[in-house]
Amino acid sequence: MIDAEKGGQNGSLICHVAQFEPTLFTKNVPFLKLLNLTVLNTRKTIATQTNIQQYNQFASTIVYGRPSKPLTVFHWLSDNNNKSKSKQKETRRSSIGGKSNYKWWPDSQLNSTILDIYIAKIRANRIDRNLGHPFDNMADFILDYFTMHGKSNRIGMKQVQELLVSVQRFNVNNMPRRIFWFGIVAGCFETSDFKFHEASCDTLLNVLELIFPNENDIISKMSDNQIMCVVRYDKAIEIAKHFFTPNRFKVEDLEAVTKNINKIAKTAQALPSTARIDAIDRGNEVERFVDVDDIIHNIMSIWFEVENREHETILSLFHCADANKNGLLDIKEFEVIVNKIIVPNLDRRTMLKLFRQGGFEDINGEIELTPDDFITILRDFMRKNQVTMSHV
């Protein structure tokens, strides 16, 4: 251990900092996860009580457990990784961290791997739901998926690296939508409109389950990434209505999705001859159809808009509640804003339980909430109790 002290200028964040050889992480990620360690991929300055140093790779453990992280957090992709895209395309290899070369997969292999991961996650979610367990976040699930299916952790982690390289080799602006949304929900990359969100993966899988109630159809109908898979227009609209429920979304959100779906719907004659259509609908000259990937794209795009809208609204509530403007909320400030805006006359016991779900102890032993803590706590509470943001 290099340091095991208070990190941060004000001494409010407790973390343990250590620097290791990168191979330690590739061989021991599942074990490190059990120890609640997070591998970071950027060079970062850590301030301790004795010095300020820069570390290339380090692990940090934070009080209250590690939050959900993008998949890219779990590898040490160097800043020089993508200097020459043309060289990558010629050699089908990418240098990760300067340690070894990882090949990227052909589109067919990448597509089949994405679908396999989706199906495995749907089944895992079903088991967790029946047992009352919380769902795994996508990054953790992918790590477990490959390390359990590989002959060893080293081989499994190599596959994770190859998956990342295979997704990141595309230009974000014109990459296939199926790969784009996998990259977003897994945290392989971000865009200005679509940041990593821990709930985005299970949201996408929820849409997939609405389209294909039998998850085996996901493979049988979407296995060829070059062949369009479509569903009837009326089914696409019903899926949107089922997803955008009024207890959470505004009427305008549903209208935006249905309007977009109506624009892209095509008759069977306008579809490619190879498009996969249910046999009962083939030959119908009146019915219109919508590409499955377009349905997912439109629903997920509006979902992210709603999430961003909620985020900004709750963030403004935080700043209103921060009476002393120190960027943190104590229990009194938290209680005022919750009782005034969200749930009037909430009992004290529930209030304390909510407050203690996040934050950290300051030097006086008092818990304070950061903006991110406040947003997470309030969002979870409002969704569980079906409280909307429309009246805020």
113 within a domain of the structure (yes/no): yes
Residues 158, 192 share a domain? yes
310-335: pLDDT as tens digits = 888 888 888 988 888 888 888 888 88
Q: In whole angstroms, give the CA distance from residue 185 to residue 203.
A: 9
Q: In whole angstroms, give the CA distance from residue 147 to residue 330.
A: 42
DSSP-assigned letter for residue 330: -
Residues 174, 136 share a domain? yes
Q: In whole angstroms, give the CA distance from residue 269 to residue 187.
A: 38
Residues 257, 295 share a domain? yes
Residues 194, 176 share a domain? yes
56 within a domain of the structure (yes/no): yes
Residues 307, 286 share a domain? yes
212 within a domain of the structure (yes/no): no
Say if residue 132's pLDDT is above 90.
no
Residues 361, 258 share a domain? no
267 within a domain of the structure (yes/no): yes
Q: According to the model, what pLDDT value does residue 388 have?
A: 59
160-180: pLDDT as tens digits = 888 988 998 999 888 999 999
217 within a domain of the structure (yes/no): no
Residues 191, 99 share a domain? yes
Q: What percent of the chain has pLDDT over 70?
A: 66
390 within a domain of the structure (yes/no): no
352 within a domain of the structure (yes/no): yes
Domain extent for 346: 322-384
Q: According to the model, what pLDDT value does residue 112 have?
A: 95
The CATH number that applies at residue 379 is 1.10.238.10
Residues 150, 108 share a domain? yes
Residues 171, 108 share a domain? yes
Q: In whole angstroms, give the CA distance from residue 13 to residue 22.
A: 25
Contacts by 205-212, CB closer than 8 A, 24 or more apart: 205/118, 205/121, 205/122, 205/125, 206/243, 207/239, 207/243, 207/295, 207/296, 207/299, 207/300, 208/118, 208/122, 208/296, 209/122, 210/239, 210/242, 210/243, 211/235, 211/239, 211/292, 211/295, 211/296
Residues 257, 335 share a domain? no
Tokens of 5: 């002290």
Number of Cα atoms under 13 Å in the Cβ half of residue 14: 10
33-77: pLDDT as tens digits = 555 555 544 444 444 444 444 433 333 333 233 456 666 555 433
Final residue of a domain: which of 291, 313, 335? 313
Q: According to the model, what pLDDT value does residue 11 have?
A: 41
Phi, psi of 100 (to 5 degrees): -160, 170
Q: In whole angstroms, give the CA distance from residue 324 to residue 236.
A: 49
Residues 326, 308 share a domain? no
In this prediction the pTM is: 0.71
76 within a domain of the structure (yes/no): no
Comparison of pLDDT for 342 and 301, the residue scoring more: 301
Q: Is 132 in a helix, a strand, or coil?
A: coil
- The mean pLDDT value for 77-87 works out to 38
Going by pLDDT thresholds of 50, 70 and 90, the confidence category of residue 266 is very high
88-115: pLDDT as tens digits = 433 333 333 333 467 889 999 999 999 9
Residues 128, 35 share a domain? no
Q: How many domains does the chain have?
A: 4
Give which of 44, 212, 36, 64 is closest to 140, Cα–Cα. Answer: 36
Final residue of a domain: which of 151, 181, 198? 198
Q: In whole angstroms, give the CA distance from residue 290 to residue 261.
A: 7
Final residue of a domain: which of 280, 313, 346? 313
Contacts of 382 (CB under 8 A, 6+ apart): 342, 388, 389
